[in-house]
């Protein structure tokens, strides 16, 4: 091997080593390395569970999830979720959070879904009042009072009221129109009183709201003073009775004194008038 051949071999090795070194540096600078963070075990849903369902063990699973992807309030033990009532529909693979469930109390599951300090009030509806069956649990409505006495008049008595249930159904599994006979609303005690007073004044009509509509509606000011019935009003309007003349005459006669005068075996009655001075 002559000197020229040896020189070419040496230069080829040097250039090859430099090329490999430069290629490695380029790959290091242009390739993002994935950092594997720590993981924690959380409760996830095995299947889809509708609103109002009592959660069972078969609905739940423990799944490791990276800490960066665990939402706030996530449950970490199955015992924390088992036996609870679903407040909103849960989907398969969802990380279960405590805000999505509520403890089951005594009675029906609907009672557990009522917000504290609120009450469930049911009103009768038909296909028109019930917005042609497009009402579903979770929707919000305005309530209009239609008064026909003394002329036609309408008042908005309640606004942005949540629907808890339609008929005996508290879940919205079927997103299709269903004509119902009763709608259960979530109201405060004051709102429930207003609704009952409005119902006694005339018919009620529900107006479905857009779920993103947060506009504040001005409500009618109902007169909450107690209303007297016809019998009480008749007693108040009854004129004072005219005094009986015979009673007055008797009273005047009673103002005279009677004196019995005895003469031997005879008895004589003498009346003495008591004249006012």
At 50-88, the pLDDT tens digits run: 888 889 999 999 999 998 889 999 999 999 999 888 888
204, part of any domain: yes
122 and 93 co-located in one domain = no
Count of domains forming the chain: 2
At 239-251, the pLDDT tens digits run: 555 545 455 445 4
CATH number for the domain including 62? Answer: 3.90.1210.10
Secondary structure in 3-state letters for the chain: CCHHHHHHHHHHHHHHHHHHHHHHHHHHHHCCCCCCCCEEEEEEECCCECCCCECCHHHEEEEEEEHHHCCCCECCCHHHCCCCEECCCECCCCECEHHHEECCCCCCHHHHHCCCCCEEEEEECCCCCCHHHCCCCCCEEEEEEEECCCCCEEEEEEEEEEEEEECCECCCCCCCCCCCCEEEEEECHHHHHHHHHHHHHCEEEEEECCCCCCCCCCCCCCCCCCCCCHHHHHHHHCCCCCCCHHHHHHHHHCCCEEEEEEECCEEEEEEECCCCC
At 4-44, the pLDDT tens digits run: 777 777 888 888 888 888 888 888 777 655 555 688 999 99
118 and 97 co-located in one domain = no
Task: State the residue range of the domain holding 202.
Answer: 114-208
At 138-178, the pLDDT tens digits run: 899 999 999 988 888 899 999 999 998 888 877 766 667 78
153, part of any domain: yes
Whether pTM > 0.75 for this model: the answer is no
97 and 138 co-located in one domain = no
89 and 172 co-located in one domain = no
83 and 145 co-located in one domain = no
């Amino acid at each position: 091997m002559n000197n020229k051949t040896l020189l070419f071999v040496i230069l080829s090795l040097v250039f090859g080593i430099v090329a490999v070194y430069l290629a490695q540096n380029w790959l290091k600078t242009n390739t993002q390395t994935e950092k594997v963070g720590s993981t924690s075990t959380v409760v996830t849903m095995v299947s889809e569970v509708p609103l109002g369902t009592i959660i069972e063990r078969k609905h739940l699973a423990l799944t490791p999830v990276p800490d960066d992807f665990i939402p706030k309030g996530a449950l970490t033990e199955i015992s924390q979720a088992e036996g609870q009532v679903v407040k909103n529909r849960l989907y398969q693979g969802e990380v279960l959070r405590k805000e999505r469930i509520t403890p089951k109390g005594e009675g029906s599951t609907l009672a557990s879904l009522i917000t504290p300090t609120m009450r469930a009030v049911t009103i009768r509806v038909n296909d028109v009042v019930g917005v042609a069956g497009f009402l579903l649990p979770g929707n919000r409505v305005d309530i209009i009072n239609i008064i026909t006495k003394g002329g036609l008049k309408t008042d908005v008595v309640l606004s942005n009221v949540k629907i808890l249930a339609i008929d005996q159904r508290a879940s919205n599994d079927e997103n299709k129109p269903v004509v119902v006979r009763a709608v259960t609303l979530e109201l405060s005690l004051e709102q429930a009183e207003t609704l009952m007073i409005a119902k006694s004044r005339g018919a009620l009509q529900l107006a479905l709201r857009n779920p993103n509509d947060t506009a504040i509606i001005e409500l009618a000011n109902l007169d909450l003073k107690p209303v007297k019935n016809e019998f009480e009003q008749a007693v108040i309007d009854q004129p004072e009775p005219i005094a009986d003349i015979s009673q007055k005459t008797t009273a005047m006669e009673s103002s005279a004194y009677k004196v019995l005068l005895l003469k031997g075996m005879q008895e004589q009655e003498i009346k003495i008038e008591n004249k006012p001075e």
